[in-house]
Amino acid sequence: MSEFDLIRRHLTGLGAARADVCVDIGDDCALLRVPDAHELAVSIDTLVAGVHFFPDCDPDALGHKSLAVGLSDLAAVGAEPAWATLALTLPGADEAWLAAFAGGLGRLALAHGLRLVGGDTTRGPLCISVQVHGFVPAGAALRRGGASPGDLICVSGSLGDAGLALRQHLRGGPTDAAARARLERPTPRVALGLALRGVASAAIDISDGLVADLGHLLAQPGLGARVDLARLPLSAAVAGAIESDAHWDLPLASGDDYELCFTLPPARVDRLAAIAVRAGCALTPIGEITRDGGLRCILPDGGDWHPRRTGFDHFADAP
């Protein structure tokens, strides 16, 4: 089967039909219309076999995750998903694999009203890049730099489940099914990002671990933070793992959570409950932005937690 047949059969028409797509897959460029008075939010993520996923992983889940990580970036700035492009490097023309991959990607695209409008296909070691595009009213995007001392720090969902599933997999023992679902099919918090526009003072998605990503919200002169570890939202499985080894790395410094971390001026705290309902996920205050002092994580017994590691860094952590 030729490259063009593969594209036509499996990658054309993925996701939602949209009136703002003037020219879809099939020409040299997609032609797209951005609504008046909006900015285009653009982000790209690459997943490399053996680095970001196991080469033999379920292709449907991989299709889902390849798009989910980009949708999580759109969520973090409060953008409404619109389009995606896909650069695929495949070791061969495995139709069953590609059909399953396209199925996982296409279902998540449809669920978010997004259209796959183009891409590139090459032969080589398995590697997937997805670029996502979304809309945000001009000037209304959530940014990393807006937090102030006194703001509440909140996170969505629960932390550390993906890290737990990865750890269990690497140890070769039994894996917790719910944790594995979080690792393989993360839920991007798109509705939450939209609901936080005009409410949150700063936001980021947690892809490298809370400590590393919250650190990005503090990268302004004079900002620090205090996080109370007893308040972290944890699944029973992650709470159990911490109880047995007393290491907080799972919820603080393992990757792939794809929850949002955001800050909230104290005067807007009463809006949190309604936003959680609109977003369909739990929202938990875990601490406060402070004046200076870096990031302090307070253990349940009142002591300070010192990280063994702060998050994954492809260059610093490479073997």
Residue 89 touches ligand ADP, criterion: CB under 6 A: no
Please check whether residue 49 is in contact with residue 55, taking contact to mean a CB–CB distance below 8 angstroms. Answer: yes
**How many chain residues touch ligand ADP (CB under 6 A)?**
13
> Please, what is the minimum distance in Å from the beta carbon of residue 64 to ligand ADP?
16
27 binds Mg ion (CB under 5 A): no
Size of the chain, expressed as the number of residues it contains: 319
- Segment near ligand ADP (CB under 6 A), from 22-30, 64-72, 75-83, 284-292? 22-30
C-alpha distance from residue 118 to each of 14, 26, 180, 239, 245 (Å): 10, 8, 30, 43, 47
303 to 145, 156, 228, 306: CA distances (angstroms): 29, 25, 10, 10
The one-letter amino acid code at 299 reads: L
* CA distances for 185 relative to 85, 97, 162, 171, angstroms: 20, 17, 10, 21
Q: Looking at 114-122, 187-195, 235-243, 300-308, which segment touches ligand ADP (CB under 6 A)?
A: 114-122
C-alpha dihedral (20, 22, 25, 30), degrees to nearest 10:
-90
Q: Which of 28, 56, 245, 270 binds ligand ADP (CB under 6 A)?
A: 28
Is residue 28 within the footprint of Mg ion (CB under 5 A)? yes
Q: What minimum distance in Å lies between the beta carbon of 89 and ligand ADP?
A: 9
7 in contact with ligand ADP (CB under 6 A): yes
Q: Nearest 5 degrees, angle CA 40-CA 41-CA 43?
A: 135
Q: Which is nearer to Mg ion, 120 or 292 (CB)?
A: 120
Q: Name the one range near ligand ADP by CB under 6 A: 23-31, 64-72, 139-147, 251-259.
A: 23-31
Binding footprint of Mg ion on the chain (CB under 5 A): 28
> What does the binding site for ligand ADP look like in residue numbers (CB under 6 A)?
7, 11, 25-28, 86, 88, 116, 118-121
